[in-house]
Amino acid sequence: MKVSPISGFPEYLPAERIVEQHFLDVIRETFELHGFPSIETRAVEPVDRLLGKGGDSDKEIYAVSRLAAEESPGDAELGLHFDLTVPFARYVLENAGHLTFPFRRHQIQKVWRGERPQEGRYREFTQADIDVVDVGDLAPHFEAEVPLVMAEVFRRLPIGRMLIQVSNRKIPEGFYLGLGIQDVVGTLRVVDKLDKIGPGKVGDLLVDAGLRREQADQCLALAAIRSEDLSFVDRVRTLGVEHPTLDEGLEALAAVIQAGLDNAPGSMVADLRIARGLDYYTGTIYETQLVGHETWGSFCSGGRYDSLASDGRTTYPGVGISIGVSRLLGLLLGKGLLTASRSTPACILVAVNDEGGRARSTKVATALRARAIACEVAPRPAKFGKQIRYAERRGIPFVWFPPIGETGDQVKDIRTGRQVDAEVGSWTPPPEDLRPQIVRAKEADAT
RNA sequence: GUGGGUGUAGCUCAGCUGGUAGAGCGCCGCGUUGUGGUCGCGGAUGUCGCGGGUUCGAGUCCCGUCACUCACCCCA
């Protein structure tokens, strides 16, 4: 049977997978460091839950069915989840009695969307989410905490500077209402196109949508405000628009930005241009760009929703943020910005003198492994030149030679050619060689 | 989902208006009778994405299809 790739379902080679696993390890460790336990939800949800109450089904959902299934109208139709928020909301409702609130969790899983793939955009991809959910009310300080966790993740990953752009839905909402604009959502949607079509065209579109020219200009002026400190508040005030919702939004955003300044300076910016397409966000919203690669879009986004879940009696507000792990890796690996120092976890290749000596080599390997040094025994007792090349082609830095003739155990660093007597019980590689390293390519840009 | 671009050796690519497939790097062997990388000599690279069509003849033209990619859409 012929094999061929399936569009949008990427697979990595071992060296790339090493980079991915490093990312996943860092993400998980950081989430846990901040006290977010892990959960995993099933891959499928009932299709009607995925579609939501509104029925706006532009989400390309993969349906799941058994090939042998008969026509049985009773069965619920299942679909693969397209994010981790919808399944999480269901999980909270289902397990509310067993959870303690405010409940925080992290979740790192594959999700599926049937959209047309591009670089950094796939049909099967991994997201890493954290959310905090509470019963009835959610304290606003969580809106500041959640991006700080992500800032820490980015600080620990071997990538350039990530900048989390933060805004609050209430700011444009209150501002528009204060201006007398009725269609808040429609206006937001047009303003959201600023990046793509520029202020001139956005202004025209707003006028086409029924705004007066000065209203449109005010909207553009608001969207242009961006500051890494709290100065955005005064700049909004200068525009002279007043509305209680605007005040709430400014206060909330100021609190988030202040927390960023206190705990992770340089990682956040108040940016009143971002709006987020998703309409369930009701407060703080986040997007994240890699500095110098803004055209790659957002790698991490989320926000506050007043009703993540509701069972009719109780409402669960939440705040969450999600890293697009596959997008990040797809771009960084695809552009050659990241590689692994070797394509195997093995730090040492234990050479084999002859088949009769394999047992001796295996004992060496066992002793090294007992001290947590990853190693592999040579597949064939080939000439040593061949065995060295076997290691070289995989990036394994050391070759261990068992005793032969007069000489005892020796280990060779094949990068320097230096070969020394060694003792299985004590010889230790330099710490940087113990595990594969993630190597960042130098970037030519001077940003 | 809509519309464009691309698809030749492991990699980067060349191949004129259709005439039986090339380079560099890498790979393998030997020089080097247990120690790779340098050097020298030699060797193999391949259903020219896949299928069909036109033609005496298709890598080259046409159609379809798959994959990658770009824009839209949407978003991670």
Residue A435 CB neighbour total at 10 angstroms = 16
Residue A19 confidence (pLDDT) above 60: yes
**By the 8 A CB rule, do A285 and A249 touch?**
no
What's the number of domains chain A is made of?
Answer: 3
* CA of residue A36 to C1' of nucleotide B2, angstroms: 42
* CA of residue A336 to C1' of nucleotide B12, angstroms: 14
Dump pLDDT digits (tens) for A425-439. 999 999 999 999 998
Q: In which domain, by residue range, is A387 found?
A: 348-446
Could you please report the per-residue DSSP string of A201-220? HHHHHHHHTT--HHHHHHHH
Residue A54 confidence (pLDDT) above 50: no
pLDDT for A405: 82
Looking at the fold, whether A385 and A306 belong to one and the same domain comes out as no
What is the distance between the alpha carbons of residues A173 and A357, in angstroms, rounded to a whole number?
A: 76
Q: Which nucleotides of B are covered by protein (CB under 7 A)?
A: 1-3, 27-29, 32-37, 47, 66-76
CATH of the domain at A121: 3.30.930.10
Q: pLDDT averaged over chain A?
A: 90
Could you please report the per-residue DSSP string of A137-193? ---THHHHHHHHHHHHHHHHSSSS-EEEEEEETHHHHHHHHHHT-S-HHHHHHHHTT
Q: Which of A3-12, A158-167, A186-195 has the highest mean pLDDT?
A: A158-167
Residue A40 confidence (pLDDT) above 60: yes
* CA of residue A392 to C1' of nucleotide B27, angstroms: 14
Pairing of strands A124-133, A103-112: antiparallel
Residue A304 confidence (pLDDT) above 50: yes
Nucleotide with minimal C1' distance from the CA of A327 is B76
Residue A260 is assigned to a structural domain of this protein: no
Residue-wise burial string across A71-84, b where 16 or more C-beta atoms lie within 10 A, e elsewhere: eeeeeeebbbbbbb
pLDDT for A50: 87
**By the 8 A CB rule, do A162 and A290 touch?**
yes
Nucleotide with minimal C1' distance from the CA of A382 is B34
Which residue, A317, A340, A363, sits at the end of a domain?
A: A340
Residue A268 is assigned to a structural domain of this protein: no
Looking at the fold, whether A317 and A229 belong to one and the same domain comes out as no
Q: How buried is residue A287: exposed, middle or buried, by Cβ count under 10 Å (0-12/13-18/19+)?
A: buried
Q: Which residue is nearest to nucleotide B66 (CA to C1')?
A: A4
Share of chain A above pLDDT 90, in %: 66
pTM of the predicted structure, to 2 decimals: 0.93
CATH of the domain at A430: 3.40.50.800
Looking at the fold, whether A16 and A140 belong to one and the same domain comes out as yes
Averaged pLDDT, A407-420: 92
**In this predicted model, which residue has the larger pLDDT, A259 or A187?**
A259
Residue A362 CA from chain centroid, whole number: 40
Dump pLDDT digits (tens) for A121-131. 999 999 999 99
Looking at the fold, whether A371 and A426 belong to one and the same domain comes out as yes
Quickly list H helices, A304-352: 325-334
pLDDT band at A446 (very low <50, low <70, confident <90, very high): very low
Looking at the fold, whether A314 and A426 belong to one and the same domain comes out as no
Give the three-state DSSP class for A267: coil
* The pair of three-digit structure tokens given for residue A433, joined into one six-digit string: 């060689």
Looking at the fold, whether A238 and A197 belong to one and the same domain comes out as yes
